[in-house]
């Protein structure tokens, strides 16, 4: 530990050594915490899938040091990939490229592509530079059980995996700055489909277009599969519903009258509920706090987590995407809770 509580050189070196041995290490990134393994060790990558309870055909992102050799990991590197790396790396952008032949199937989920990202969190960079002298890749999904909310603190990671001994080490780098997962852009089919936005995030489609002069399209039917793009994902155990600001006060009153406990996550002026968390009204501030808020509300013994729907589009696209997935399957839940009186 350093005086400010961040992991010091000894902890980073230990983490790099454990990764090289094939063990799992959780580490902070600016988006969410990652569950890392040596990307070139199929047995280690298999441990990620086992720990998460994740289906085998879902690819994982390979995290690289800032001066990594892209040509070692990808077989085709379009000019657009170089431009985006120059503009946004280190940072919250993942690029899907045609994979180099030596990338294990376990990393690519059996597809002919690989997801590459250079994170900007200083602890992640230090770890990637220490691991195999900066020449390695760390395969890392978000450090949560499959389908759960991604962790944005080391404590969240321990809540997910603490007791089961699957993690050799958790590096604590404080609360993740961005708070939602990286933007994913597919550049592996540029000739036929152009750039495709597989997952919205802090780096917007417009910001990407400003660099490569082409606006990434929405995923088509043949787009690479991405588990974070399943309809239901990032979900707490308590049902989640989103409602527009205009109807929220009425819903809160009805829920109270029906004896229901509501955990409210909002950003404008609203009355309190059983549990209430007010998040910043900016897209950056809201994203930064969202996952910790969902986890806290999941632990508040509420019947329902009610979220004030953020504005649509623009810089709010990432949080809207995550909230829609968290709320998937809870459609109709508000009516159900109002109709059956609390027992």
Name the residue nearer to ligand TXA (CB basis): 23 or 243: 23
Minimum distance from residue 331 beta carbon to Mg ion (Å)? 23
Task: Tell me which of Mg ion, ligand TXA, none is bound by residue 318, counting a contact when its beta carbon lies within the kind-specific cut-off of 5 to 8 angstroms.
Answer: none
Minimum distance from residue 4 beta carbon to ligand TXA (Å)? 23
The 275-278 sheet, strands edge to edge: 240-243, 304-308, 262-266, 275-278
Strands 275-278 and 262-266: parallel
Name the residue nearer to ligand TXA (CB basis): 135 or 146: 146
- 142 contributes a contact to Mg ion by CB under 5 A: yes
- Name the one range near Mg ion by CB under 5 A: 141-149, 199-207, 277-285, 298-306: 141-149
Minimum distance from residue 18 beta carbon to ligand TXA (Å)? 17
| The residue count for the chain | 343
The 25-27 sheet, strands edge to edge: 169-170, 25-27, 34-38, 138-139, 61-63, 113-117, 93-98, 183-186, 196-199
| C-alpha–C-alpha distance, residues 100 and 338, integer Å | 55
Which residue in 89, 188, 175, 99 sits closest to 139, CA to CA?
99
Minimum distance from residue 142 beta carbon to ligand TXA (Å)? 4
Name the residue nearer to ligand TXA (CB basis): 220 or 247: 220
Q: Are the C-beta atoms of residues 106 and 45 closer than 8 Å to each other?
A: yes
- 330 contributes a contact to Mg ion by CB under 5 A: no
Task: Tell me which of Mg ion, ligand TXA, none is bound by residue 293, counting a contact when its beta carbon lies within the kind-specific cut-off of 5 to 8 angstroms.
Answer: none
Angle subtended at Cα 115 by Cα 14 and Cα 90, rounded to the nearest 5 degrees: 60
Minimum distance from residue 272 beta carbon to ligand TXA (Å)? 33
Task: Tell me which of Mg ion, ligand TXA, none is bound by residue 224, counting a contact when its beta carbon lies within the kind-specific cut-off of 5 to 8 angstroms.
Answer: ligand TXA
DSSP letter, residue 8? -
- 31 contributes a contact to Mg ion by CB under 5 A: no
What is the 3-state secondary structure of 78-114?
CHHHHHHHHHHCCCCEEEEEEECCCCCHHHHCCCCEE
Contact residues: ligand TXA, CB under 6 A: 29, 31-32, 34, 58-61, 94, 96, 108, 111, 113-115, 117, 119, 140-142, 181-182, 184, 198, 224, 226-229
| C-alpha–C-alpha distance, residues 33 and 312, integer Å | 27
Q: By Cβ distance, which residue is nearest to Mg ion?
A: 142
Name the residue nearer to ligand TXA (CB basis): 52 or 260: 52
Strands 113-117 and 138-139: unpaired
Minimum distance from residue 228 beta carbon to Mg ion (Å)? 5
Name the residue nearer to Mg ion (CB basis): 31 or 142: 142
> What residue ranges bind Mg ion (CB under 5 A)?
142
């Amino acid at each position: 530990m350093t005086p400010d509580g961040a992991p010091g050189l000894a902890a980073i070196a230990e983490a790099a050594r454990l990764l090289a041995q094939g063990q799992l290490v959780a580490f902070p990134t600016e988006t969410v915490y990652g569950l890392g393994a040596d990307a070139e060790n199929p047995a280690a990558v298999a441990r990620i899938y086992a720990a998460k309870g994740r289906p085998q055909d879902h690819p994982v992102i390979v995290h690289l040091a800032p001066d990594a050799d892209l040509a070692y990991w990808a077989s085709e590197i379009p000019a657009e990939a170089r431009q985006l790396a120059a503009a946004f790396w280190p940072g919250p952008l993942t690029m899907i490229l045609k994979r180099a032949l030596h990338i294990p199937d376990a990393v690519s989920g059996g597809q002919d592509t690989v997801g590459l990202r250079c994170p900007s969190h200083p602890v992640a960079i230090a770890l990637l530079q220490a691991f195999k002298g900066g020449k390695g890749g760390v395969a890392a999904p978000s450090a949560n059980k499959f389908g759960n909310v991604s962790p944005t603190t080391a404590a969240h990671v321990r809540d997910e995996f603490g007791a089961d001994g699957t993690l050799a080490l958790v590096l604590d780098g404080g609360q993740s700055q961005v708070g939602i997962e990286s933007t994913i852009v597919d550049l592996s089919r540029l000739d036929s489909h152009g750039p495709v936005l597989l997952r919205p995030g802090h780096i917007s489609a417009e910001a990407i277009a400003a660099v490569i002069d082409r606006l990434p399209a929405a995923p088509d039917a043949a787009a690479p599969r991405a588990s974070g793009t399943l309809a239901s994902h990032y979900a707490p155990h308590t049902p989640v519903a989103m409602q527009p600001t205009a109807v929220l006060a009425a819903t809160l009153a009805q829920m109270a009258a029906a004896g229901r406990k509501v955990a409210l996550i909002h950003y404008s002026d609203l009355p309190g509920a059983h549990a209430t968390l007010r998040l910043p009204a900016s897209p950056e501030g809201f994203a930064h706090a969202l996952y910790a808020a969902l986890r806290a509300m999941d632990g508040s013994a509420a019947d329902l987590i009610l979220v004030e729907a953020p504005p649509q589009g623009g810089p709010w696209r990432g949080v809207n995407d995550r909230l829609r997935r968290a709320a998937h399957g809870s459609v109709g839940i508000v009516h159900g809770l109002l109709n059956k009186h609390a027992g």
